[in-house]
Amino acid sequence: MSRNILLILALTCIISCNENMSDKKNTTEHLPAIALHGGAGNLEKLNLTEEQKNEYLHVMDSAVSQGYQILQLGGSSVDAVEAVIVILEDCPLFNAGKGAVFSHDGCNELDASIMSGADLSCGAIAGVRHIKNPIRGARKVMEKSEFVLLHGEGAEDFLEEQGIEKVDTSYFYTEHRWQQLLKAREKESKAHLDHDGEHTENDPDKKHGTVGCVAIDKFGHVAAGTSTGGLTNKKYQRIGDSPLIGSGTYADDSTCAVSCTGKGEDFIRIAVAAEISSRIRFANEPLDKAVHTTLHGRLVAVDGRGGCIAISPTGEIVMDYTTKGMFRACIEKDGKKTLAIY
Amino acid sequence: MSRNILLILALTCIISCNENMSDKKNTTEHLPAIALHGGAGNLEKLNLTEEQKNEYLHVMDSAVSQGYQILQLGGSSVDAVEAVIVILEDCPLFNAGKGAVFSHDGCNELDASIMSGADLSCGAIAGVRHIKNPIRGARKVMEKSEFVLLHGEGAEDFLEEQGIEKVDTSYFYTEHRWQQLLKAREKESKAHLDHDGEHTENDPDKKHGTVGCVAIDKFGHVAAGTSTGGLTNKKYQRIGDSPLIGSGTYADDSTCAVSCTGKGEDFIRIAVAAEISSRIRFANEPLDKAVHTTLHGRLVAVDGRGGCIAISPTGEIVMDYTTKGMFRACIEKDGKKTLAIY
């Protein structure tokens, strides 16, 4: 009996040592890196004041820095992606969470998705109206359900069981988003691309974008997430690309992690996020070429517009777009930080 | 003025002649072909009687033949795909339209998608409860809306405006589907894969599958469509792969058209339909290899199960699955017909 106990102790020690070595190996091999976007569009037409630009830059700086810190402390890429997107959802500047635009019938319909490149697990919710942080909801679907995509009240029922914070619809009310809707309704115009000057004229209040984040952690695992309020004045419970795995979000440790923003329907048609991953896997394209060819080649060919952020398993970051700007920020594996709008 | 009129007449004649030549070229170059599926699963465990098998084979024969006739008469691949799926939706044997399974709360939630390889246009609806033929709804979204994917009541509002036939929920009531739900609820079991014996035991009433169709027309255009009632006892307004472009359905004239059936969540994770298309585009794999590697390689690697039908721009048909059977039928470009279950 005592021999057995000694054997168990010895084995435990070996496993523990191996785990420590494995952790150490991983921590020395992989430098964390992270990128976020806050929507693409013809941002010049926003005519942002210096003060407004600084507001955006400040929030993006804070978010990307907090995400990077999580990674540096050994947090997972999924943790970092969720934390960054929560910050952007809580900021009324962006079209996600608190700052979500109104749909045609005066509601806020929120969509989000998240994916882990480690095991291709993923979760998404669409058309929810009471979830304070949709990205947290998407993660719960990923980790606690057998499903990938849940919708509306059904999704909210599940998330309530999981203890996710629900809020009254009034939480999402912001005066400037409401005014956007009234103007859009008045014109009976088509649903509008989130940040786009072409369709939304020169009104800074109309053009706030989808948010997203990609990251790689110390263990070499990539992750991606996206969250949005969709299109101002959208109708018919339209679902865009943001909650759709393969369209707006994708992550695979063997290729890349991607989060997209733009004219969702065209991102679905091309399956943009999966296409970027496939170009790397099957055509051996480097990340920057895979992103560029997909956005400026195939997407443009179907009259699509927008952008994406992507990260490779070796920590390269690409932030590319076909519009005249994309709110974006990143901290590369050497610690270099970038904050940009145009 | 008269010179201008002559010039216009001459140009009109040239354009008209070119169009006729182009039509002629297309009609002589492309032989139509078509394939359908009625769901994959461990079909041996269904213990179908000869009579039951014949019922399935008869409906599949009728559907594939009618689709082929449309193509032979010069109809588009989109027309053929829609017509075939309408027949399968109207048949209570399959888990789509009339034969849809019940979700946990005793409703039928129907999903469908359709895509044209000619221009990558696509449309889909999810979670509808009153649309007699969801595939018709998906086509209306594709052709008459600026969106790709509409959900639930919003989708139904749009389709009502478009004159699509709505039915009372009682239309979808079938006694054996109701009994399936009661049994599933009783066991509080997990949501069940549509045709699968592993999870649904040996009860033939439980295992009816998603339907789909792919086709190529005389003009060389491919199309794909998929329609389903989802999983028996599904909860939380779960959306599977069937209405998701790139997951359950994809079509691109430069690669292939694909319709999938199986454990939807895993088809989403892999973006199966887009992956098959990407393997052809980027790795130059022939259709049969692209399908086989995706299903038996990547899908199996994430513990996924199911099958798909696919057609190439030169009319090759592949019907492959990882389960112990798939209801399937095709008419190849040489006119050869195949009807099979196991």
HEC profile for A220-273?
A: CCEEEEEEECCCECCCCCEECCCCCECCCEEEECCCEEEEEEECHHHHHHHCHH
Tell me the mean pLDDT in the region B299-312: 96
Tell me the mean pLDDT in the region B81-109: 93
Q: Are strands B211-216 and B33-40 parallel, antiparallel or unpaired?
A: antiparallel
H-assigned helices in chain A: 2-29, 50-72, 77-90, 134-144, 152-161, 175-187, 197-200, 264-270, 272-283, 287-293, 300-301
pLDDT at B136: 98
- Comparing B328 with B9, the larger pLDDT belongs to B328
The two most distant CA atoms of chain A are separated, in Å, by 83
Distance CA(B94)–CA(B44), nearest Å, equals 16
Q: Tell me: pLDDT of A340 over 60.
A: yes
Residue of chain A nearest B158, judged by CA positions: A236
Closest chain B C-alpha to A275 CA, distance in angstroms: 7
Distance CA(A112)–CA(A87), nearest Å, equals 14
Cα dihedral B250/B267/A248/B130 (nearest 10): 70
Q: Strand ranges (DSSP E) for B29-100?
A: 33-40
Domains of chain B, start order: 30-340 (3.60.20.30)
Q: First and final CA of chain B: distance in angstroms?
A: 71
Closest by alpha carbon to B126, among A147, A139, A59, A201?
Answer: A147
Residue of chain B nearest A157, judged by CA positions: B236
Predicted TM-score of the model (pTM): 0.89
Distance of CA A89 to the CA centre of its chain: 10
Chain segment B49-90, per-residue pLDDT in tens = 999 999 999 999 999 999 999 999 999 999 999 999 999 999
% of chain A at pLDDT higher than 90:
74
Residue whose entry in the numeric block shows the structure tokens 């009996």: A1
Catalytic machinery residues of B? 210
Closest by alpha carbon to A330, among A73, A123, A136, A71?
Answer: A71
Residue of chain A nearest B154, judged by CA positions: A236
pLDDT at B206: 41
Is the minimum CB–CB distance between A258 and chain B shorter than 8 Å? Answer: no
% of chain A at pLDDT higher than 70:
86
Question: A87-119 burial string, b = 16+ CB within 10 Å, else e?
Answer: bbbbbbbbbbbbbbbbbbeebbbbbbbbbbbbe
Q: Tell me: pLDDT of B21 over 80.
A: no
User: Which of B239, B266, B300, B303 is the best mutation test for A, with the most CBs of A within 10 A?
Assistant: B239
pLDDT at B9: 44
The C-alpha angle B337, B288, B41, rounded to 5 degrees, equals 70
Residues 291-320 of A with CB under 8 A from B: 302
ipTM: 0.88
pLDDT at B141: 98
Q: Tell me: pLDDT of A23 over 60.
A: no
| Ramachandran quadrant class, A283 (left: phi over 0; alpha: psi -120 to 50; beta: rest) | alpha
Of the listed ranges B56-60, B162-166, B310-314, the least confidently predicted one is B162-166
Cβ atoms within 10 Å, residue B302: 15
State the amino acid at position A158 in one-letter form. Answer: F
pLDDT at B191: 54
User: Per DSSP, what are the bridge partners of residue A333?
Assistant: none
Q: Give the helix/strand (H/E) hosting B326.
A: strand B326-331
- The CA-atom distances, in angstroms, between A213 and each of A88, A115, A271 are 10, 11, 18
Residue whose entry in the numeric block shows the structure tokens 């070595």: A21
Q: Categorize the per-residue pLDDT at A146 as very low, low, confident or very high, splitting at 50, 70 and 90.
A: very high
pLDDT at A190: 54
Check B146 against A269: CB less than 8 A apart.
no
Length of chain A in terms of residues written:
342
Of the listed ranges A127-131, A234-238, A271-275, the least confidently predicted one is A234-238
pLDDT at A93: 93
Is the minimum CB–CB distance between A157 and chain B shorter than 8 Å? Answer: yes
- The CA-atom distances, in angstroms, between A113 and each of B156, B194, B273 are 25, 25, 20
Chain segment A192-226, per-residue pLDDT in tens = 555 554 444 333 334 458 999 999 999 999 999 99
Query: Whole-number mean pLDDT of chain B?
Result: 88
Strand, coil or helix: B10? helix
The residue annotated as part of the active site, out of A200, A210, A232, A255, is: A210
